[in-house]
Structure 1
Amino acid sequence: MALDEILRHVGDSGRFQLARTVLYIILTLLLSCHDIMENFTAAIPDHHCRVNLLDNPRSEINITINLTTEALLKVSIPMGPNQKPEQCRRFRHTQWQFLDSNVSVFNNTKLETEPCLDGWTYDHSVFTSTIVTEWDLVCDFQSFKYYAQATTMAGYLVASLVCGFFSDRFGRKPLLVCSCLAYGILGSCCAFAPNFSFYCVLRFLLSASISNIVINCPILVFEETSPKWHSRIIILNGLSFSIGQAGFGGLAYVLSDWHILQLVLALPYFIFFIVFCWGPESVRWLISTGKTEQAIKTLQRIAFINGKKDIAYNQTTEALQSKLKEDGNSTSKHFRIKDLIINPMMRRTVLCFSCVIFTAVFGTFGILLDIKNLGNNIFLNQILLGVVDIPIKLLTYFIMRNVNRRPSIAFSLLTIGSCTTITIFLAEEMHVLRLMLFLLVKGSFAAFGCISTAYTQEHTPTVLRLMNKNINEKEGEDFLETTGC
């Protein structure tokens, strides 16, 4: 078609496309941290009921006793089966008899206990602060942590349903600009959320912003880049995603306060906001919406950045404008959702692949969002989960070039399902084996993500590509000859 030929002449593999791809890869480094953030910002440290004797050792006796913290805990809190203080119960009355070494602290089944009425004491050796310690999301309130995760996923769902319509209506660039600005502002506010409810609302909006960025940024890159580079871009993007997840494990280890960690991830989005404001809109979208003059200026700008000044300053723009207007008129009809439902091929492809993606994401993220079950050192677990993707994704590049999409996707899904099923029957104490199996799950999911991205790009292209598919390429070649491009 005409636009594809024009893009080849102004450059579809030049400095402009390289800059956008690099920006996309850097942005992906940050995007990869959003989903796994709550493994650290919502981590549950060791805790037990607050013991008043630790604050005032003379509160129940009239003489001063030099007791250690362990001794005071022994008389105040029942011991659990793991020989550690119970996390959610305390003795109703102080049990001084347990100071006698001849009395077993485990013979306490008949002693009266009560919930932690005065709050909890947390171990701050790993995390100085999390949302759990901030709002006491433990014991009877521990499920609130999972409400926050559910709210985060709900933000993705709602945004993904409407993102495509807004993108086609208002353009790729405005949505990216607004989403980056929104994430910067909302993420900064989230770091200082006054209560848990407000925190959940902000996490919902943050996920909606991320969803818009994830959907629109690759479209903006792919629509003006030669198709021969798409596989490489997908793999590079996948590698940056894995590197971002691995690096986030180290970052969370250094920044043990959830306020600082949230703020550090939010502030860079203000930079992306400025960069996207400077960048141009998608030429394909401009043509499909009839904004031909702006599309011509963008094409000239792309040619200038790619070093093709003779094309950028070509004076025969009237013929160019005439042809692009013809393309715009031929693609100006609005896409409606019923057009997707009526088309049996598209309907079957979208429904089947939506189910496949949902199954893979549901099974993998269920473990990815609770990596503490894979071992006690969650920082090392996170780094390993990111690092294991790197060789898998490098291998995936060659798979994508030499193996059909469907068997590749089927094999990766089979591996994910088999390994996840095996972990159900493993004891929680078998941390090493559980971690190894899930590393295999994570690697298979990484391969699935790359292959499925290429598959959906090939089978469910943008509405603009579908509209333009009947335009004669020969007309574009003839037009290029007349304009001298």
Structure 2
Amino acid sequence: MAFQDLLNQVGSLGRFQILQMTFILTCNIIVSPHSLLENFTAAIPDHRCWVPILDNDTVSDNDSGILSQEDLLRVSIPLDSNLRPEKCRRFIQPQWHLLHLNSTFSSVTEPDTEPCVDGWVYDQSTFLSTIVTEWDLVCEFQSLDSVAKFLFLTGALVGNILYGCLTDRFGRRLIFICALLQLAITETCAALAPTFLIYCSLRFLAGTCFSTILTNSGLLIIEWIKPKFQALATALLLCAGAIGQIILAGLAFTIRNWYHLHLAMSIPMFFLLVPTRWLSESARWLIMVNKPQKGLKELRKVAHLNGMKNSGDVLTIEVVRTVMKEELEASQTKSSIWDLFRIPHLCKRICLLSLVRATALGVIGIAGSIGAALSPLFMILKTYSPSLPWIIYGVLPFLGALVVLLLPETKNQPLPDSIQDVENEGRVSRQAKQKDTFIKVTQF
């Protein structure tokens, strides 16, 4: 935890932190809504089968103009159990006799019906177009709508596995920029996708970098500020996501074409790539991967921006190596994702959070992505009880809140720099408990 000493010398909440935080929060405002885009772009409007006497301008069985649209609909589309026009079937032939039946009687024989072989007619009062109307994802194809959402969440799962390791290997800044570029390209292309298969493939690729951006956003903020303000920074990141979702809802209210809405949320990400040239890499990460010279350069830059020029001049490579001696020695040992579960103290934290650096967040993100991908499946339980899925959704957060009580307090505590720090934390905690027990027994 020695990095905190270096950070205190260059300023742990100054102009640099405010500028970096402002940019990253802006990124989160624009990026976060992409997980909810299909709440609007994949909305399912009211629909019915296309029928010639209603929807073909060149054919008219109502030349006299006596029959209303409602009458023509009645003879063309059967009624469902709720006495509303059926969405997925139509009469093979117009049933003119239905116009003369009393509402209390029904025909002796059920008229023959057929699927919507000529397509559908959609209500455009709310949305002019969605991916559902674009590729007719209704009736027997309605499950494909869920496939698109599932693939995005599956992409987030793959991204947590892949990019979590890459972040610890190549750095937070580089992976953040690459993921932002990938998201901008794939989401812009998805808005222009010619087929549903291409659209789903692009959304999968977008999902892989979506979670990476959010994870590295947190790292690039938290690793540059002191523990006292880390909770505030995390809260601001969450608020940025909420603001983005509010903006998405407002845009969806005014932009009613799905591809225009998709483009409106995607193109601004290209402009975010310009300021990334001034984005600073985590000095903590640079030092821990045995790049102290680059870490020192970043620390001196921060000291200059924060107006602590004397501190920047005092900082030397010898000071960095001395302060971070133990951590640098620990970094020489190759670690893997399995080390998160090898240390009992760390394994407990990871398991509880799934039910402190990028690889660990990737593991926790995997758990979250699995939960998100599986959550639509709970809706299948509505066939047994309409309220059962909602009961499950409501109970699980309470169980998660109880699990948090088992985690250690982190308020105003410095972040551990390595697995060894967490291991030492657990050893100190056990020694304190043993000492406390010894004192009690002695007093007795």
Q: Same fold (TM over 0.5)?
A: yes
Matched, 1:319 2:272: no
Matched, 1:49 2:44: no
1:98–1:104 contact (8 Å) kept in structure 2: no
Q: Aligned partners of 2:196, 2:408: CA distance in 1, in Å?
A: 40
Q: Aligned partners of 1:226, 1:41: CA distance in 2, in Å?
A: 41
What is the CA distance between 1:4 and its match in structure 2?
1.7
After TM superposition, list the pairs within 5 Å mapping 1:163-202 onto structure 2: 163-202=163-202
Other structure's SS at 2:78 match: coil
Q: Deviations over 1:380-431 (max 9, x none)?
A: xxxxxxxxxxxxxxxxxxxxxxxxxxxxxxxxxxxxxxxx99x955599xxx
Q: Aligned partners of 2:179, 2:369: CA distance in 1, in Å?
A: 26
Residue identity matched to 2:418: R
Matched, 1:276 2:276: yes
Other structure's SS at 1:114 match: strand
What is the CA distance between 1:85 and its match in structure 2?
1.2
What is the CA distance between 1:351 and its match in structure 2?
2.8
Query: Which residue of 2 is the match for residue 402 of structure 1?
Result: none
1:364–1:442 contact (8 Å) kept in structure 2: no
Matched, 1:136 2:89: no
Deviates more, 1:15-24 or 1:209-218: 15-24
Gaps of 5+ in 1: 371-419, 429-433, 472-485
2:218–2:237 contact (8 Å) kept in structure 1: no
What is the CA distance between 1:203 and its match in structure 2?
0.9
Residue identity matched to 2:279: G
- TM-score using structure 1 length: 0.74
- TM-score using structure 2 length: 0.80
Residue identity matched to 1:341: F
Q: Aligned partners of 2:353, 2:240: CA distance in 1, in Å?
A: 25
Other structure's SS at 2:140 match: helix
Q: Aligned partners of 1:360, 1:277: CA distance in 2, in Å?
A: 30
Residue identity matched to 2:114: E
1:58–1:64 contact (8 Å) kept in structure 2: no
What is the CA distance between 1:92 and its match in structure 2?
0.7
1:292–1:328 contact (8 Å) kept in structure 2: no
1:78–1:91 contact (8 Å) kept in structure 2: yes
Matched, 1:22 2:22: yes
CA 156–58 in structure 1, closer or farther in 2 if over 3 Å, else same: closer
CA 60–14 in structure 1, closer or farther in 2 if over 3 Å, else same: closer
CA 224–316 in structure 1, closer or farther in 2 if over 3 Å, else same: closer
Matched, 1:466 2:419: yes
2:345–2:422 contact (8 Å) kept in structure 1: no
Residue identity matched to 1:168: D
Other structure's SS at 1:67 match: coil
Gaps of 5+ in 2: 356-363, 425-444
Query: Which residue of 1 is the match for residue 299 of structure 2?
Result: 299
Query: Which residue of 1 is the match for residue 344 of structure 2?
Result: 344
CA 62–325 in structure 1, closer or farther in 2 if over 3 Å, else same: closer
1:290–1:329 contact (8 Å) kept in structure 2: no
What is the CA distance between 1:325 and its match in structure 2?
7.8
Matched, 1:308 2:308: yes
Residue identity matched to 1:27: C
What is the CA distance between 1:41 and its match in structure 2?
0.8
CA 62–333 in structure 1, closer or farther in 2 if over 3 Å, else same: closer
CA 237–441 in structure 1, closer or farther in 2 if over 3 Å, else same: farther
Residue identity matched to 2:244: G
Q: Aligned partners of 1:425, 1:14: CA distance in 2, in Å?
A: 53
Deviates more, 1:94-103 or 1:114-123: 94-103
Percent identity among equivalent residues? Answer: 34
Q: Deviations over 1:1-57 (max 9, x none)?
A: 543212101011111112222233333323431222211111100000001112446
CA 51–62 in structure 1, closer or farther in 2 if over 3 Å, else same: closer
CA 61–105 in structure 1, closer or farther in 2 if over 3 Å, else same: farther
After TM superposition, list the pairs within 5 Å mapping 1:31-430 onto structure 2: 31-56=31-56, 59=59, 61=61, 64-100=64-100, 102=102, 107=107, 110-312=110-312, 314=313, 317=316, 319-320=318-319, 322-323=321-322, 326=325, 328-355=328-355, 358=367, 362=371, 366=375, 426=387
Query: Which residue of 1 is the match for residue 431 of structure 2?
Result: none
Query: Which residue of 1 is the match for residue 435 of structure 2?
Result: none
What is the CA distance between 1:93 and its match in structure 2?
0.7
Total equivalences in the alignment: 410
Deviates more, 1:74-83 or 1:8-17: 74-83
